[in-house]
Amino acid sequence: MTDDEVLVRIEGRVGRLTLNRPQALHALTTRMCEILTQALLAWKDDPAVDLVLLDHSGERGFCAGGDIRMLAESGAADGKAAREFFFKEYRLNHLLFDYAKPVVTIMDGVTMGGGVGLAAPSQYRVATERTTFAMPETGIGLFPDVGGGWFLSRMPGHIGLWLALTGARLKAADCELVGIATDFIPSDQVEAFKAAVVAGPAAIETLLTQFEGDAGRPRLAEHQDEIDRIFGLGSVEAIVEALQHSDSDWSDDQLKALAGKSPQTMKVAFRQLALGGKAASFADNMEMEYRIGARVVQRHDFIEGVRAVIIEKDNAPKWDPPTLEGVTEAMLDDIFAPLPSDDAWSPLTPP
């Protein structure tokens, strides 16, 4: 099951999964999703494995997302490879969410997009002082997928929507505040922690307490009231208008952030979180997100966003429609509409 992009082994009574694509900040490929899924399925009922430990090689970051270039190239063609990636990635996300054994994910460094999809469903999510969490998809005409509709909508107040629309980055203390991290361990203690877990996985709760460090004060706390007041409004247009009438440096910064995002996918994210917050199950949420992903990946804004931000790096995407007002409810209805039954997403294991 192992190849160079994911290292798979059993140490003691611990299944070890190590992302190993450092040149791309461990961005997920379809093959990586397949390897991770195969290992988790093999260990699910294996009495020799008590716990799964998910980490990355090197020091640059846990996982920066998915293989965006492949998705854009596929989206510009027939979209088949992009849909296959989403289908398998979302099955992996769901498998982690429902996994019967403890999964410990080390979110050391960059944890964005697809990396969040691996970390967020894990039972134990360990941040370090190097952790940087974000869901920056609206900046490339995509949307905060991999379970964002479920996890972001269940964060305190309206922080999740703020993160989805602005792509704001959080450090460790803020990750603990919003629940994306369950624990904080200083990076210079992580290797010792992992060795201790391998030596005694049954003691995971005690070890997390033993190695726990102080992440500091969450900077986000000082803006929570403002986020709840403004990002709790009923539309993206209302949020922008409220920011325009809010006399603070913070609101000006949010306006600048939103100005660079795709109007289409900001409205997609707004509806996605509203529906995800009401979803009866994580599987229902992922079925919805697959519908969105299968369509958005072939739309103008994603192809253009990747060109502007990832490929040519001029950071001047020309969105279509160029304004929030131009994104109609009918357009959103098309993106969210059910897929034919043969094309719909389904989990590996029935809910």
Residue tagged active-site, from 15, 65, 66, 115:
66
Work out the angle at residue 161's Cα, subtended by the Cα atoms of residues 156 and 162, and round it to the nearest 5 degrees.
Answer: 90
Residue tagged active-site, from 75, 114, 115, 117:
114
- 264 Cβ contact partners less than 8 Å away, ≥ 6 residues apart: 141, 299, 301, 319, 320, 321, 327, 331
Tokens of 140: 């490339």
φ, ψ dihedrals at 65, nearest 5°: 140, -140
Rounded to an integer, what distance in angstroms lies between the CA atom of residue 27 and that of residue 48? 30
Rounded to an integer, what distance in angstroms lies between the CA atom of residue 268 and that of residue 344? 19
Q: Strand, coil or helix: what is 301?
A: helix
CB 273 within 8 A of CB 135: no
Rounded to an integer, what distance in angstroms lies between the CA atom of residue 42 and that of residue 46? 7
CB 72 within 8 A of CB 298: no
For the question of residue 11 being annotated catalytic, the response is no
Query: Which has the closest alpha carbon to 71: 270, 303, 334, 229?
Result: 303
For the question of residue 114 being annotated catalytic, the response is yes
CB 165 within 8 A of CB 236: yes
For the question of residue 66 being annotated catalytic, the response is yes
Residue tagged active-site, from 67, 108, 137, 304:
137
Q: Considering Cα of 318, then 132, then 38, then 7, what sign does the dihedral take?
A: positive
For the question of residue 4 being annotated catalytic, the response is no
Could you tell me how far CA 345 lies from the centroid of its own chain? 18
Active-site annotation, residues: 66, 114, 137, 145
